Chain A
């Protein structure tokens, strides 16, 4: 991999920015060049949120991801909006408990996961983002629990350190899922 561009998208409040931040932090700890750029403004309050994450072997030029290699869509408006922008042979991860359609593109790899349902099942309904993130890392062959715990320590504030295990557990659940509804 020389450069991998992620676009995380969904409703404000689903932890989209946090998921992106996790990925950026992981890239940094892997010794890569990284950038994280959120959408900002009133649209975030209950509307759609997105963030661009770039992980690269070389310094990052534009931090704006317009042709993602990996799209993460946690709601239908996001999938509708960004499906067409994904790079050929790219990947689309989406929360199939909230999105009731399939990916239309045939030149990308679609990976549905009922992340919200799964998060509910394991008793942490607010961690659908981490469930999906676990799946993404597993699919990219980067699910390394030790590393993930190190990243979580960085991105979760000391005040909420008690959430670390729950986050890890949610990611584990996502990684182990078969991905089918």
Chain B
């Protein structure tokens, strides 16, 4: 077994980013993700990197835009209200086809909301990262080890597809400590970036990093081309974990902390003889459609366990093509569903034979 250290999820993200070759971090303090900034502030100056506390989330994401344009691995992190402020920059980064890693350690909303864990930015991450037609690769860790692994993976996916990869965590994932093995992370070398604005050195025509196309014809072409790339991602990059799905009659859909809680409920339900399993999306975009499609022909009912008023449930319904009932089991505002609550939802549905 690799040597493990006990780390907070936020710290694991920061250290994994450094291991992935990220040497530039820009951010603005906001609970519950500030440990990332604090970690970077401590480490970056010692390894020749940049940590800069920006004047705002807006400035931070635009600094990210600058470093990404210059061809380096770069990241920022924030929590829900701060990520909303970044949406302008996220759109520009998408429009200019720049790679970046953005972390959202979610808290309850809307508005100033609260500081306790939430998953209510699912729509923001998978649907509405900013204005215009674009996607972000959205990675949803469910352990501190995954916080590290998906950060490393995020950098390489961002580079490969020239787009933003977002780590969509929550306050629990950010604050909790678990053992982490950092020495076996699948770090990929940074690819060549011939498009980067590194200075022409008088050796090549000038590079332009830009998202402005005043000709609609041209702009349409860039959108079509980008979505061709998105199609490849949908085909190749969906990630998920199945738990006890082989013989499952009922299926839980949950990611992040909700999946952790659901696992306890599933174990207890199994002890009581109810055949329930779980599909845990690891990528929220691209959404893992295949396992849900398969489950739709196997299970009687899907329960979407979320820390939101029901956001991922829309993707679950789309993926199961409304062939099975899908119901929501949720807590919001910083509350977390208890294993008992999830168990109760399972028992109730099993009691009805899976009918709604």
Direct contact of A and B (CB under 8 A): yes
Q: What's the nearest-Cβ distance from chain A to residue B353, in Å?
A: 27
> Is A120 an interface residue, CB under 8 A from the partner?
no
- A36 with B32: CB separation less than 8 A: no
Shortest CB-to-CB span from A76 to chain B, Å, is 24
Tell whether A63 is near chain B: CB-to-CB under 8 Å. yes
B219 within 8 A of A: no
Q: Does A62 contact B (CB under 8 A)?
A: yes
Contact A36 to B178, CB < 8 A, known contacts A24-B6, A41-B115, A62-B260 = yes
Residues on B with C-beta less than 8 A from A37 are: 172, 175-177
Q: How far is the CB of A28 from the nearest CB of chain B, in Å?
A: 5
**CB of A79 within 8 Å of the partner chain:** no
Q: Is the CB of B175 within 8 A of A40?
A: yes
Chain B residues near A154: list those with CB within 8 A: 6
The CA of A62 and the CA of B261, in the complex, are separated in Å by 4
Nearest to B32 among chain A residues (CB) is A40
A64 to B171, CA, bound (A): 12
With contacts A24-B6, A34-B6 taken as known, whether A62 is within 8 angstroms of B264 at the C-beta atoms is: yes
A122 interface contact, C-beta 8 A: no
Contact between A24 and B261 (Cβ–Cβ < 8 Å)? Answer: no
State the interface size on chain B (CB cutoff 8 A). 23
Residue of B with least CB distance to A63: B176
Given contacts A28-B6, A41-B116, are A62 and B339 in contact (CB under 8 A)? yes
When A34-B179, A61-B267 are in contact, do A66 and B4 touch as well, CB less than 8 Å? no
Shortest Cβ distance from residue B252 to the other chain A in the assembled complex, whole angstroms: 12
User: Is A62's CB under 8 angstroms from B176's CB?
Assistant: no
Q: Chain A 19-48 against B: per-residue CB contact (8 Å), 1 yes, 0 no?
A: 001001100100001111110110000000
Q: Is B102 an interface residue (CB 8 A)?
A: no
| Nearest CB on A from B173, distance (A) | 9
B31 close to chain A: CB less than 8 A: yes
> Taking the complex as formed, is B326 at the interface, i.e. its CB lies under 8 A from any CB of chain A?
no
Known A-B contacts A28-B179, A35-B177, A61-B260; A41 and B6 likewise in contact (beta carbons under 8 Å) = no
A35 to B178, CA, bound (A): 5
Bound-state Cα–Cα, A38 to B176, Å: 7
- The count of residues in chain A whose C-beta lies closer than 8 Å to any C-beta of chain B is 19
- CB distance A61 to B339 under 8 Å? yes
CB distance from A107 to the nearest CB of B (A): 19
- Selected from B176, B264, B336, the residue in CB contact (under 8 A) with A36 is B176
- Cβ of B263 within 8 Å of any chain A Cβ, yes or no, is yes
Mask: chain B, 1-38; 1 = CB below 8 Å from A; 0 = not: 00010100000000000000000000000011000000
Q: Does A60 contact B (CB under 8 A)?
A: yes
Instruction: Tell me, rounded to whole Å, the shortest Cβ–Cβ distance linking A112 to chain B.
Output: 29
Contact assessment for A21 and B6 in the assembled complex, using a CB-CB cutoff below 8 Å: yes
Question: For residue A36, which residue of chain B has the nearest CB?
Answer: B177
- Tell whether, in the assembled complex, residue A62 and residue B263 are in contact, meaning their CB atoms are under 8 Å apart: yes
Would A21 and B177 count as touching, CB distance under 8 A?
Answer: yes
- A42-70 contacts to B, CB under 8 A, are 60-64, 66
> Given A61-B260, A64-B336, is A34 in contact with B178 using a C-beta cutoff of 8 Å?
yes
Q: Which residues of B contact A34 (CB under 8 A)?
A: 6, 178-179
Instruction: Name the distance in Å between B67's Cβ and chain A's nearest Cβ.
Output: 30
- Neighbouring B residues of A38 by C-beta, 8 Å: 175-176
B53 at the interface (CB under 8 A from A): no
The docked-state distance in angstroms from the alpha carbon of A172 to that of B178 is: 27
A34 CB to closest chain B CB (Å) equals 6
- CB 8 Å contact bits of B258-270 with A (1 = contact, 0 = none): 0011111001000
Docked Cα-Cα span, A157 to B115, in Å, equals: 28
Q: Does B338 contact A (CB under 8 A)?
A: yes
In the bound assembly, the distance between CA atoms of A34 and B176 in angstroms comes to 10
Q: Tell me which residues across on chain A come within 8 A of B339, comparing CB atoms.
A: 61-62
Q: Which chain A positions have C-beta within 8 A of B172? A: 37, 63-64
B178 neighbours in A (Cβ, 8 Å): 34-36, 60, 63
Assembled-state Cα–Cα distance A64/B178 (Å): 13
Q: Which residue of B lies closest to A58 (CB)?
A: B267
Q: Which residues of chain A have C-beta atoms less than 8 A from B179's C-beta?
A: 28, 33-34
Interface residues of B in 175-219 (CB under 8 A from A): 175-179
Q: What are the residues of chain B within 8 A of A40 when measuring CB–CB?
A: 31-32, 115, 171, 175
A30 to chain B, nearest CB (A): 11
Cα–Cα distance between A62 and B267 once the two chains are bound (Å): 12
Min distance, Cβ A55 to any Cβ of chain B, angstroms: 11
Are A61 and B336 in touch, CB under 8 angstroms? no
Query: What would 5 more interface pairs be, CB under 8 Å, given A61-B260, A64-B261?
Result: A35-B176, A35-B177, A61-B261, A62-B339, A63-B172
Binding site for A on B (CB under 8 A): 4, 6, 31-32, 115-116, 171-172, 175-179, 257, 260-264, 267, 336, 338-339
Listed A/B pairs (7) with beta-carbon separation below 8 Å: A21-B177, A36-B177, A40-B175, A61-B260, A61-B263, A63-B260, A64-B336
Q: Which 4 A-B pairs have the closest CB atoms?
A: A61-B263, A36-B177, A61-B264, A62-B261
